[in-house]
Amino acid sequence: MSTSRSRSRIAATCSRTAGLSRATARSGSAATARCSRQAILASSAAEPTPPTHAPDPRVIPIDWITLPKAELHLHIEGTLEPESMFELARRNGVRLPYPDVESVRRAYVFGDLQSFLDIYYAACAVLVQERDFYELTLAYLRRALLDGVRHAEIFFDPQTHTARGIDFATVVTGISRALADGRELGISSRLIMCFLRDLPAVEAMAALEQALPHRELITGVGLDSAELGNPPAKFEQVFARAVEHGFHVVAHAGEEGPPDYIRQALDVLGAERIDHGVRCLEDPQLVERLATEQIPLTVCPLSNVKLRVVDRLEHHPLAQMLDSGLCVTVNSDDPAYFGGYVGENFAAVRRALALGDAELVRLARNSFTASFLDEAAKARHLAEIDAHIQPA
Ligand code: ADE
Ligand code: ZN
C-alpha cells in the first residue's frame, strides 16, 4: 500500500498548529518548521522575527514522548523482550531454538503477518507460571509509563496458553494482579481477551465460557491472529454470546484482510473499534461511514512496516486517514517484535509523515476518546493533554 501526502493537508496542519501556544522548534521537517514559525509570529507579533536557520529560544518544544496518551492496541504477549524470554526459559526449563538474545533479534525479519505469528506463538512457550504473566505485564506497564501512557487497554490470547495446558485462571490472574499494581503506579487499564480467528469458532466459544468465572477482570473481547481466509462472520455466534454477557467488542480487521472484513466486524460482530483498519482506504464509502460514525481505528505504524502491510513508513496511510476525518489512534501492537513502544511510534510517524503539532495532539486526544474509560476520566485526561501543551 502506498499513499502520498497532499498539499492541502500541510496547509490545514499549519493553520491548526498556529493555535497552539507551544510549538516545536526542533523541526523534523520543513512543514513542521513552517508551522513553528507561524506559531511564534502569532504569539509575539511585535517581536523581531528570529533568523529561520536558528532555533528560537522562546519556543519550548512539546515533548511528544511524554505527551499523555492511551494505548489501545497492545498484545501483552507481544511485549516479551528477548532478554525476558531467555530468563523465563531458564526458570521454566523451556528449550529455545536460539543460542542467544542477538540471534533472536536477528530472526525478527518478517515477510507477512503469518511469518511473525509463527515466531510469536512459539515464544509464548516460556510463559508458564502466574508470576511469569505478572512480571511480563508489570514490565510493560513500567515501560509504557516512560512514554506518557496513562491508560492501557491490553489484549491477551488465552487460547495460546490453554492449548499448552496452562489454566485460564493462571493467565488472567497473573495479568490482572500486575494491572492492579499498575494502578498504584498511575496507569489505569482494561483487559480484552482475543479469540484466535485461525482456530474453529467452537474453540473460541469454549474460551468465552472459560472467561465467565473471571468476568469482572475482563472488559471486552477481540479477534486476532491470521486474518486472511478467516472473516469476522465466522465468529458471529461467539460475539453474540459475548455481547449478551456485556463485554465490549473490538476486532482486528483490514490489516491484511479486505475492507469487507471491516464491514463484517461492524455489522456482524458489533465491533465498537477496529484494530488496524488501514485497508479501509480502498473503499471510499466505507471511509465515509467510518468518518461519519467516528468509529475508532487503532493503527500500529511500526507493526505495519515490519509485517509489510506498507513498504516503508513514509508511505504509511496514517496522514491520509487523518485527512479523511477518521478517528485514528497510534499504538504499538507487539513492541518487543516491531522495534518500538508507543512513544517511538509517535516519534517515527512525526518524522516520516511530517505530522504537525495539531495532528499529534489529535492522535493523543483520540486515544482517550476512543477508550472504554468513563466520560469523567476521559475529560480529566484531555485536560491533562491541554496542560502538557500549554506554557508553564
Ligand atoms: N496477534 C499479535 N499481533 C497481531 C497482529 N498484528 N495481527 C493479528 N494478530 C496478532
Ligand atoms: Zn494487533
Tens of pLDDT, residues 124-169: 999 999 999 999 999 999 999 999 999 999 999 999 999 999 999 9
Instruction: Tell me the CA–centroid distance for residue 90 and ligand 1, in Å.
Output: 26
Percent of the chain with pLDDT over 70: 84
Model pLDDT, residue 86: 98
For ligand 1, which residues put their CB under 6 angstroms from it? 75, 78, 113, 224-225, 252, 255, 303, 333-334
Hunting for cell 458471529 — which residue is that?
236
pTM of the model: 0.87
Model pLDDT, residue 390: 86
Model pLDDT, residue 55: 58
Residue 42 has pLDDT above 60, yes or no: no
Give the residue, 331 or 65, on which the prediction is more confident: 331
Model pLDDT, residue 27: 32
Instruction: Tell me the CA–centroid distance for residue 276 and ligand 1, in Å.
Output: 10
Model pLDDT, residue 53: 57
pLDDT in tens, 212-270: 999 999 999 999 999 999 999 999 999 999 999 999 999 999 999 999 999 999 999 99
Ligand 1 atom with minimal separation from the 275 CA:
7
pLDDT in tens, 99-130: 999 999 999 999 999 999 999 999 999 999 99
Q: Which residue ranges does the chain devote to CATH 3.20.20.140?
A: 69-79+127-386
Question: Which CATH number applies to 69-79+127-386: 3.20.20.140, 3.40.50.620, 3.40.50.300, 3.20.180.10?
Answer: 3.20.20.140
Residue 199 has pLDDT above 50, yes or no: yes
Residue 54 has pLDDT above 50, yes or no: yes
Phi, psi of 206 (to 5 degrees): -65, -40
Cα 312 to chain center, whole Å?
A: 18
Give, in degrees to the nearest 5, the angle at Cα 144 between 142 and 146: 80
Q: Is position 216 annotated as part of the catalytic site?
A: no
Residue 56 one-letter amino acid: D
Residue 335 and residue 140: Cα distance in Å, rounded? 10
Model pLDDT, residue 64: 85
pLDDT in tens, 280-289: 999 999 999 9
Model pLDDT, residue 60: 67
Model pLDDT, residue 62: 81
Give the residue, 3 or 26, on which the prediction is more confident: 3
Ligand 1 atom with minimal separation from the 227 CA:
8
Burial code (b: 16+ CB inside 10 Å, e: under 16) for 369-378 equals bbbbbeeeeb
Model pLDDT, residue 22: 31
Q: Identify the nearest ligand to the CA of 331 by its number.
A: 2
Q: Are 275 and 298 in contact (CB under 8 A)?
A: yes
The residue from 77, 255, 256, 359 that is catalytic is 255
Model pLDDT, residue 154: 99
